[in-house]
Structure 1
Amino acid sequence: MASGYAHAQWWTAAPADYEDCAERVEKSSLANEPKAIALSNCESQFAGRRKRGGGYSYYDFMQNRSFDIAGPNPTAAEQKAIDEQYAAYLDSHRRSIILAAFAKKQSEAQQPANLDTDFREASAPPADVKPVVLPRARPKQRVAKGPDCATEPLACGWAKLSSGLKDIKDALFSTGPPRPNAPDSDLAHVSR
C-alpha cells in the first residue's frame, strides 16, 4: 500500500512561466509563509511576465522600462541587447547631468551681469525728468570713550597706567621739541 501515498509526478510538467508558477502556488494548500517563499522562487525562476496579446515582457528596474522578449526568460542575445540599452541609458543620463551642471554654471556666471544691467535699466530716469541733488549727510565723529571706572575699575586702572607709561616713554625717547611743562635741563640730560 506504500504506492498509494506516492504522488505520481511523472505526468506533472514544470511551470511554463511566472504566471503558471504563481497560479500553482495559489492553488496549493501551503500556509501563508511557505506560499510567500514559493512565490519568491517563481519570481527568481522567471524574469519575464506574460503579456495580454501573447509574448513576454521583461521589466528592467534600472532603466525603468520594459523590453519585449520571446520567452519567459530573456535569451543571451536579448540580455545582451538589454545590457547595451542600459549602457546607452547610463551614457545619456551622464550627459544630461553634465549639461545640467554646465547650464547652471553658465546661468550663475551670467546672472550677476544681468542683474547689474537690469538694475541700471530699471533705475535710469526717464529723459524728461531732471535729477534732484540731495545734500550729503556728514558722518558723525565718534569720540573715543574710556572705560567706565564704576563697572570696570581694573580696566580704568590699566588705562591710567598705560597713559602714564606713554607719557614717560615720550619724555625719555622723544626726538621732537621739548614739552612746555618739562624742565630743559632734564631733557638735555635724557637726550644725550
Structure 2
Amino acid sequence: MTAPRNQILLAAMMVGCAALSSPQVRAQWWSHGPADFEECADIAEKVTGKEARTAALSQCNAKFAGRRKSGGGYTYFDFMQNRKFDIAGPNPTPEEQKRIDEQYAAYLETQRRSTIAAAFAAKQQQLQQASLKQASLKSETEKPPLTTGNAGKPPPAAGDLRRAKPADCTRHSFSCEWPRLSEGIKDLKKALFGSPPGKGRT
C-alpha cells in the first residue's frame, strides 16, 4: 500500500511543478496588478512613448473610479452632480453606487423645481410690468386737459373783473374794497346826472 501512495504523491508533485512552470502562472505569481488609480498612474507614467503613456492612463481612469484621500479612504467625483462622495475602496460598491444614484435622482428633482420656480417668477414679473404699463396708459387717457374748464367760454367782462373779489383779500383792505367803492360812485353818478349819452348819437 505504501508504494502506490508514494506514486500518487509523486504524480501530484509533478503536475504542480508543471503548472507553476507555465509562463502565465509564473507572471501572475511574481507580479500583481495596481491596487488603485494612483498606483496604476505611477506605472503608466513609466511607459515609454507619449501615445502609449496616454493610453495607459486612460485605462487606469476606466478601471478605477475613486481617488485616494489624504486622510485615508477614497472619494468618487460624480460630474453629473458636480459633487464628491466618500467610498471605501478604489471603486464604489453596489450599495455605494445605489446611494450615489439616489442622490442624483434627488439632484435632478431639485434642478427641475428650480427651473419651474425661475420660469414662474419671470412670468409673474412680465405680468406685473404689463399691468403697470396698462394702468399708466389708462391714467394718461383719463386725465382731463388743463384747458378743459376754460374751453368755449368767453372771457369775462371788465366789470365782472372789477366786481370779482380776490379769494385771498384781507378784510377792509384798500385793494379789496376799491372795486366795490368804484361801482358805488358810478351808481351815484347815474342817479344824479343820468346815463351818459351813447357814442354816435346826434
> Given the two structures, how large is their TM-score scaled by the length of structure 2?
0.54
Supply the AA of the counterpart residue of 2:100: I
Alignment partner of 1:22 out of 41, 65, 74:
41
Alignment of 1:89-168 (within 5 A): 89-117=107-135, 131=146
CA distance in 1, matches of 2:71, 2:98: 25
Count residues with an aligned counterpart. 125
The equivalent residue for 1:63 is 81
Note the C-alpha offset of 1:105.
1.2
The equivalent residue for 1:13 is 32
Alignment partner of 2:90 out of 31, 54, 72:
72
Structure exhibiting the larger radius of gyration computed from Cα positions? 2
CA distance in 2, matches of 1:121, 1:52: 69
CA distance in 2, matches of 1:44, 1:63: 19
The equivalent residue for 1:40 is 58
Note the C-alpha offset of 1:132.
5.2
> Given the two structures, how large is their TM-score scaled by the length of structure 1?
0.57
More helix by share: 2
CA distance in 2, matches of 1:108, 1:38: 55
Note the C-alpha offset of 1:114.
2.1
SS at match of 2:84: strand
The equivalent residue for 1:142 is none
Q: Which runs of 5+ in 2 are unaligned?
A: 1-22, 152-202
Note the C-alpha offset of 1:115.
3.1
Note the C-alpha offset of 1:73.
0.1
